[in-house]
Amino acid sequence: MVLVDAAEQLMIEEGYAAVTSRRVAEKAGLKPQLVHYYFRTMDDLFLEVFRRYAEQSMEAHRRALESPQPLWALWRFGINPAAGRLTIEMAALANHRKELRAEISRYTEAFREQQRQVFVTALERHGVLPDEVPPIVWSILLTGVSTVVMMGEALGVTAGHAETLQVVERYLTLMEGEPAPDDSVHQWRSEQSAPLAPEFCETTTPSTASTQ
């Protein structure tokens, strides 16, 4: 939906404070009255932005689970810069909106379960499923690193990021080999009209190549 696209783009480019009915309508090329016709309040619009992104993220995770290189797919998904910026804005917004905070919590639990499944599949495939480190811990470690790096990038903090990316990707290469040049796991987002699409597709090249 064009109003959701416009609101998401404004959040990424200027932050959630810029998302007003007037600005959203202007960016969408519509009359401001239409914003409140489709969304009773701006909170309803914010919820729709988050829910759409969360559902698309769930689909990306599902495809990662089916990928020949699920760990690379999950890693590439996590280091998308635009997603980092949107995550920051959603987290800041959730501090003041209980309903959004509850939705983020609900989806996060679902994400972690999907991520756990990715690690179970990948580690069992390579015969390295250590009893002392449950798959959910590996999931939190990998996604935690990607979240810290991408949120730091969004804030202009880059110290140690290149080195961290190199270490993580070296281990991913040991586990799954070099990343495939074309990663269909991420092509799903290019089929959507939302503004995150191009940057998701850009993550199909090794991230260390862009950090050197």
Query: What are the tens digits of pLDDT across the range 150-188?
Result: 888 878 889 999 999 999 999 899 888 898 875 443 443
Q: How far from the centroid of its chain's Cα atoms is residue 6's Cα?
A: 18
User: At residue 90, does pLDDT exceed 70?
Assistant: yes
- Please indicate, yes or no, if residue 49 is contained in any of the structural domains: no
- Please indicate, yes or no, if residue 167 is contained in any of the structural domains: yes
- Selection from 73, 71, 88 nearest residue 16 by Cα: 88
Q: What is the pLDDT of residues 53-79, one digit of tens each?
A: 999 888 877 887 788 888 888 888 888
Identify the pLDDT of residue 116.
Answer: 84
Q: What is the pTM of this model?
A: 0.73
- Selection from 84, 83, 8 nearest residue 46 by Cα: 8
Contact 3, 39 (CB under 8 A): yes
Identify the pLDDT of residue 188.
Answer: 32
The rounded percent of the chain whose pLDDT value lies above 90 is 39
Domain that holds residue 117: 55-210
- Please indicate, yes or no, if residue 90 is contained in any of the structural domains: yes
User: At residue 30, does pLDDT exceed 50?
Assistant: yes
Identify the pLDDT of residue 68.
Answer: 85
- Please indicate, yes or no, if residue 132 is contained in any of the structural domains: yes
Identify the pLDDT of residue 136.
Answer: 85
User: At residue 45, does pLDDT exceed 70?
Assistant: yes
- Please indicate, yes or no, if residue 21 is contained in any of the structural domains: no
Count how many domains the chain has: 1
* Helices (H), ranges, the chain: 2-14, 21-28, 32-38, 42-66, 70-78, 81-94, 98-125, 135-155, 161-176, 187-190, 197-202
- Selection from 5, 13, 57, 45 nearest residue 189 by Cα: 57
- Please indicate, yes or no, if residue 70 is contained in any of the structural domains: yes
Contact 154, 88 (CB under 8 A): yes
- Please indicate, yes or no, if residue 202 is contained in any of the structural domains: yes
- Please indicate, yes or no, if residue 50 is contained in any of the structural domains: no
CA distance linking residue 92 with residue 199, whole number of Å: 22
57, 91, 123, 168 from 207: Cα distances, Å:
19, 25, 22, 11
Residue carrying the six token digits 């920051």: 88
